[in-house]
A and B are shown apart, each in its own frame.
Chain A
Amino acid sequence: MSRRYVVGYFEEDGRLIRAVKELRDQGWAVADCFTPYPVPGLDEAMGLEHSYLGWVAFVAAMVGAFGMLALELFVAVYAWPVNIGGRPNASIPAFIPPFFEAGVLNCALTTVGALLAVCKLYPGREVPADLPRTTDDRFAVVLDADQAPGAADRITAALKRVGALEVTEQTPREAL
């Protein structure tokens, strides 16, 4: 069964933030917000936790860099040692540039891959709901219409009170 949502639209991000704060103060659970650009302070207002992708980036960078160092040592010491003027095979300083580049490369690809995976973004993904102009010039807050008996009407009234330009009810293709 698909869920019903109440959607309130705003024309300024400041108003959206105040609406989100007020609705949460009144005890309503805010499902999500949709904005044309990242609104500063919105994640605190929504009570979202910090993104954990920084750890993914750190681990990916380490894996890339030390993986490359391991490959370099394997090649230079074990698989294809070359004696150049008696210098040591494990010439670590010369291995630093590939170490660095591989760390950066793996970090970038893995972190962006993780972003796409976490947000379930991929080419051909259907947009779950039609929220007009939210990628253009409007800011939408979305709340579950069935979170309490009679919630839809009360949320609609609350949204109008905090200055929403338009409030609609939607049954999106998938849960938001």
Chain B
Amino acid sequence: MQSSAASVAGAASRPVAAHGHEVDPSDLPWVEGHKTLGQVTREIADYPMGRAGMPGAWWWIGLAISATALGIGGVCILYLMFVGIGTLGLSKTIGWGFCITNFVFWVGIGHAGTLISAILYLLRQRWRTSVNRSAEAMTLIAVMCAGLFPLMHMGRPWFFFFLAPYPNTRGSLWMNFRSPLVWDMLAISTYFTVSLVFWYLGLIPDWATMRDRAHGLRKRIYGLLSFGWTGSARHWKHYELVYLILAGIATPLVLSVHSVVSGDFATSLVPGWHATIFPPYFVAGAIFSGFAMVLTLMLVARKTMHFEEYITLRHIDMMTKVMLFTSMAVGLAYLSEFYIAWYSGDRYEQQHFLNRFLGPYGWWAFIMYGCNMGIPQVLWFKAVRRNLLVVFLISLTSNLGMWFERWVIFVSSLQADFLPSSWQFYHPTLIDYGVMLGSFGLFFTMFLLFARFVPMIAIAEIKHEVAHGDPNAHHGEA
């Protein structure tokens, strides 16, 4: 075993494989610090188990701010429900305003989680293992935030069950399965449920790990949450297959969700909405904004929770590359829209796209195109991708840009319709802003609670990565 001994000696100084050549960087272990399995357990599980000390002041400050935002949002939602949707800035011309913009924004944010946990799993991108748990949690929370808005927008949210197909005393009045709004309801609820199941399935072995380290009440709680998982090889056999199947079905699902959401717009005849490019355009934008949000959260979490050896600069590098790619996919869709508007010869389309830039809401379009197409181009440079402050700022501008993208598409399309006498502005009310603030409050409150009580990194999965991720390590020899 001379060669393996040489490789072990070489691995300590610089990455050299057993046969003496430089190692392809993509073969390097994704978790740094040559960790032992027990170390992985301690470093990740100690936070949720309360053994890493009390959460720092920043956690409490963050929770106070986001819980306040959530509280304000809650009051606004109550007011909205008691008084009605007349309290929003909606008009006959602009029937879909802030609420639907926020809805699509949050659904888009939700896309990164399942992309990371399912699609990158199928593509055997090993770096996903460090971020899949928290990205998937972010997905679940974002979809919850998204779900609030159509519910509020119904005006009478307590009748939401009218959407369900069941024999009823209203006739039976059945839903129209040809409507994208019905598809939307089915797609989002399926997406939420499948993501939740997928996420929880990954958590079961980690709850068991925590159960076996805890005492007293904590042990009982983790025992309940872990479903009595033992790590039996007979169970792992089924577990692994089910995990693969869920990844397999979640992959088309995540692509279908934003395609269906885009159908809410694309099937209408409104200039600016009526475009067949919408499904891939929306999916690319969703992944772009989702990765931006993952980066926003992860850059803070890795610093405050000392996960630098799990979420390394290389992980961030990969995520920024995904952002760069999706930014260009979205940019291509933007340019295609303009081209098709010109090429169609349809004067309503042309008028709309001129109005985007030259109309009263032109500056929105500049934010949208600048933040989504322009600024991410600096990610071509490695020095930028390695500068965490710049990456953090880009993740923020990207989220801003993606919010404005939806705002531009929805509101500036409706604002100037076919009949000039009905053109109107959208004036957001305090309730509009309050409900939006509340959704951000909900998002960050839930995420902070998640970071406090749930293992942020998939312990069992990362252990496999630690044990097998290093091609220079020798397994079971000696």
Interface residues of A, Cβ cutoff 8 Å to B: 12-15, 17-18, 32-40, 42-43, 46, 48, 50-51, 53-54, 57, 61, 71-72, 75-76, 79-80, 82, 84, 91, 94-95, 97-98, 100-102, 104-105, 107-109, 111-112, 114-116, 118-129, 131-137, 176
Q: In the complex, what distance in Å separates the CA atom of A15 from the CA atom of B238?
A: 23
Q: Are the C-beta atoms of B239 and A38 separated by less than 8 Å?
A: yes
In the complex, which of the residues B193, B234, B252 has the most CB atoms of chain A within 10 Å of its own CB atom?
A: B234
**A134–B230 touching, CB < 8 Å:** yes
Chain B interface bracket (under 10, 10 to 19, 20 to 34, 35 or more): 35 or more
Closest chain B residue, CB of each to CB of A46 = B233
Which of B177, B201, B461, B463 makes the CB contact (< 8 A) with A95?
B177
Docked-complex contact B174 and A108, CB < 8 angstroms: no
**Distance in angstroms between the alpha carbons of A33 and B233 in the assembled complex:** 5
Check A32 against B233 for contact (C-beta < 8 Å). Answer: yes
Does B260 lie at the interface of the complex (its beta carbon under 8 Å from any beta carbon of A)?
yes
Report the 5 A-B pairs with minimum CB-CB distance, sorted nearest first: A14-B476, A125-B228, A137-B37, A137-B38, A33-B233
B238, B252, B256 interface centre (most CB from chain A within 10 Å): B238
Closest B residue to A19 using CB positions:
B476
Q: Do A40 and B468 have beta carbons less than 8 Å apart?
A: yes
Contacts of B183 in A (CB 8 A): 97-98, 101
Separation of A9 and B204 alpha carbons in the complex (Å): 23
Q: Inside 8 A of B13's CB, which chain A residues have their CB? A: none
In this assembly, does B2 line the interface, its C-beta being within 8 Å of a C-beta of chain A? Answer: no
Task: Decide if B172 touches A80 in the complex (CB within 8 Å).
Answer: yes
Interface residues of B in 175-230 (CB under 8 A from A): 175-178, 180, 182-183, 186-187, 190, 193-194, 197-198, 201, 204-205, 208-209, 211-213, 223-225, 227-230
A79 near B235 with CB under 8 A, answer: no
Contact sample, A vs B, 29 pairs, CB 8 Å cutoff: A12-B467, A17-B476, A32-B232, A32-B233, A34-B230, A34-B232, A39-B236, A43-B233, A43-B236, A46-B233, A48-B237, A53-B238, A72-B177, A84-B178, A97-B256, A101-B186, A101-B187, A105-B194, A108-B193, A108-B198, A116-B227, A118-B238, A121-B227, A123-B225, A124-B224, A127-B223, A134-B231, A135-B212, A137-B41
B464 contacts A by Cβ under 8 Å: yes
Q: B36 interface residue, CB < 8 Å from A? A: yes
Q: How far is the CA of A176 from the CA of B260 in the complex (A)?
A: 47
Q: Which residue of B lies closest to A76 (CB)?
A: B177
Contact A35 B231 (CB under 8 A): yes
Q: Are B233 and A13 in contact (CB under 8 A)?
A: no
The number of inter-chain residue pairs (CB within 8 angstroms) is 201
Task: Report the Cα distance A145→B226, complex, angstroms.
Answer: 29
Task: State the Cβ distance, B33 to closest chain A Cβ, in Å.
Answer: 16
Nearest to B213 among chain A residues (CB) is A136
Task: Write the nearest CB–CB distance from A41 to chain B, whole angstroms.
Answer: 10
- Which of these binds chain A: B242-250, B297-305, B355-363, B434-442? B242-250
Q: How far is the CA of A120 from the CA of B232 in the complex (A)?
A: 12
The answer to whether B461 touches A37, judged by C-beta atoms less than 8 angstroms apart, is: yes
A80 touches B186 (CB 8 A): no
Q: Which of A76, A112, A122 contacts B242 (CB 8 A)?
A: A112
Contacts of A94 in B (CB 8 A): 177-178
CA distance A42 to B232 in the complex (A): 11
If the complex has contacts A97-B260, A105-B193, are A75 and B242 also in contact, measured as CB distance less than 8 A?
A: no
Known A105-B193, A111-B246, A121-B229: A71·B213 in contact at CB below 8 Å: no
Are the C-beta atoms of A36 and B227 separated by less than 8 Å? no
- A53 contacts B464, C-beta separation under 8 Å: no
- A119, B235: Cβ atoms closer than 8 Å: yes
Complex CA distance for A137 and B213, rounded to whole angstroms: 12
Question: Which of B177, B198, B209, B237 has a CB less than 8 Å from the CB of A51?
Answer: B237
- Whether the Cβ atoms of B237 and A76 lie closer than 8 Å is no
The answer to whether A37 touches B460, judged by C-beta atoms less than 8 angstroms apart, is yes
Distance in angstroms between the alpha carbons of A131 and B238 in the assembled complex: 21
B240 within 8 A of A: yes
Residue of A nearest to B228 (CB): A125
Q: Does chain A have a CB within 8 A of B241? A: yes
Shortest B40–chain A CB gap in Å is 8
B228/A13 in contact, CB under 8 A: no
B201 to chain A: closest residue by CB: A112
- Among B285-303, those with CB < 8 Å from A are none
